[in-house]
């Protein structure tokens, strides 16, 4: 069986060695020494000034909205994981969907201005599959209309644009460290901001709003993470360069074998590196996608329609809305298996089956 993804796990003895100290300290959560060390290590690796390690990527988005005091409309993308939209609604705000660019699959920055109303307070854009949005254009729009910008960078770990971390853009950027991501801490998330005051506010929010044993500075939530998760993050960080290299080899093998397949890969930002987080293909049509998907599943090879269907017309808590490009593209996108342990022989098998389905 070949799953669509599989978590990277470091050598067992390395993880056991680092968690041995937890038994000695008996400090399990509440920002223990391993969680603090992970924050410092990630700041250094990502080359960002301010970073918080939190429970998960969804909590990170909720905290971002709350800390920026956003209460009105938030312009966002319908082509993303459900958490991008559900956090907006969860925080009592209103999502306003703007269509995507057919080539990049990111929010189309040229259509944002037309969606701005007197109630618009922010833009929440996703770097889909780690592919950076048009951050320069979004920044200009936000400045012109005095809007806050949050980036959902769940897939974007390690991506740099114009020689700086993608997480340096916007008022707040978030990242997911879930087990399915290329770099993970089993469960986890990151909040990154350039603003030290905003970082301080989020640090309070992460711990119920406490600023002392008997006093509070903010309305808070339990956004902390454990020492066991931090330990996994610390060990996995040692292997991140190997993970990139291996995923690049797999990606290039797919590119080579599927050169004549009737599908295209999303256009990557011209000034950004690729982190090989996913291998998405936009098929010629949904019929071909389903034929490929069904044939692969018959051989116990599993893919994912990521993201399908559109968030604009499937969520029970929102009025359905038709969005032209998203509705056209979403049914034709399929992510192929991509993970550290995937062999090139398995990639070749997947590609042979896909070409067979195409030629039938």
Tens digits of per-residue pLDDT, 36-75? Answer: 999 999 999 999 999 999 999 999 999 999 999 999 999 9
Peptide bond into 307 cis (omega under 30): yes
Q: pLDDT per residue over 138-162, tens digit each?
A: 999 999 999 999 999 999 999 999 9
Length of the chain: 360
Answer yes or no: CATH 3.90.1150.10 is held by domain 240-359. yes
Residues of the chain with CATH 3.40.640.10: 12-99+107-237
The pLDDT of residue 66: 98
The share of the chain scoring above pLDDT 90, in percent, equals: 99
Q: 160 forms bridges with which residues in the sheet?
A: 165
Please give the Cα distance from 186 to 198 (Å, whole number).
26
C-beta separation of 216 from 206 below 8 A: no
Owner of token pair 């290039």: 252
Grade residue 360 by pLDDT with cuts at 50, 70 and 90: confident
What kind and span of H or E run contains 143?
Answer: helix 135-145
Grade residue 359 by pLDDT with cuts at 50, 70 and 90: confident
Topology of the domain comprising 12-99+107-237: 3.40.640
Residues of the chain with CATH 3.90.1150.10: 240-359
Closest CA relative to residue 68, chosen from 123, 140, 138 = 123
Q: pLDDT per residue over 2-14, tens digit each?
A: 999 999 999 999 9
Grouping H, G, I as helix, E, B as strand and the rest as coil, residue 286 is: helix
C-beta separation of 115 from 75 below 8 A: yes
Listed in sequence order, the residues at least 6 apart from 327 whose beta carbon sits closer than 8 Å to its beta carbon are 310, 312, 313
């Amino acid at each position: 069986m070949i799953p669509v993804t599989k978590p990277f796990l470091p050598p067992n003895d390395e993880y056991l060695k680092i968690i041995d100290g937890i038994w000695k300290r008996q400090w399990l959560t509440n920002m223990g020494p391993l969680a603090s060390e992970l924050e410092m290590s990630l700041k250094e690796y990502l080359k960002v000034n301010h970073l918080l390690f939190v429970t998960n990527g969804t909590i990170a988005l909720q905290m971002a909205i709350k800390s920026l005091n956003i209460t009105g409309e938030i312009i966002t993308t319908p082509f993303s994981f459900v958490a991008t939209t559900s956090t907006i609604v969860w925080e009592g705000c209103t999502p306003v969907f703007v269509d995507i660019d057919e080539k990049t699959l990111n929010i189309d920055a040229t259509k944002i201005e037309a969606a701005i109303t007197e109630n618009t307070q922010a833009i929440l854009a996703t770097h889909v599959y780690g592919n950076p949005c048009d951050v320069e254009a979004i920044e200009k729009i936000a400045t012109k209309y005095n809007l806050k910008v949050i980036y959902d960078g769940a897939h974007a770990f390690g991506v740099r644009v114009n020689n700086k971390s993608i997480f340096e853009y916007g008022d707040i950027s978030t990242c997911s460290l879930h087990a399915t991501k290329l770099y993970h801490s089993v469960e986890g998330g990151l909040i990154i901001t350039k603003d030290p005051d905003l970082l301080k506010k989020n640090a309070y929010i992460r711990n119920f709003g406490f600023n002392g044993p008997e006093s509070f500075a903010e309305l808070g939530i339990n956004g902390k993470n454990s020492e066991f998760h931090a330990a996994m993050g610390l060990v996995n960080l040692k292997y991140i360069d190997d993970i990139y290299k291996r995923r690049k080899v797999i990606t290039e093998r797919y590119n080579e074998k599927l050169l004549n397949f009737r599908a295209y890969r999303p256009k990557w930002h011209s000034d950004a590196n690729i982190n090989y987080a996913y291998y998405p293909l936009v098929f010629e049509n949904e019929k071909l996608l389903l034929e490929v998907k069904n044939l692969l599943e018959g051989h116990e090879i599993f893919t994912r329609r990521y993201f399908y269907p559109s968030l604009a017309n499937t969520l029970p808590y929102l009025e359905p809305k038709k969005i032209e490009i998203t509705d056209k593209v979403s049914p034709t996108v399929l992510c192929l298996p991509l993970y550290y342990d995937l062999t090139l022989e398995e990639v070749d098998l997947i590609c042979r089956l896909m070409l067979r389905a195409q030629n039938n």
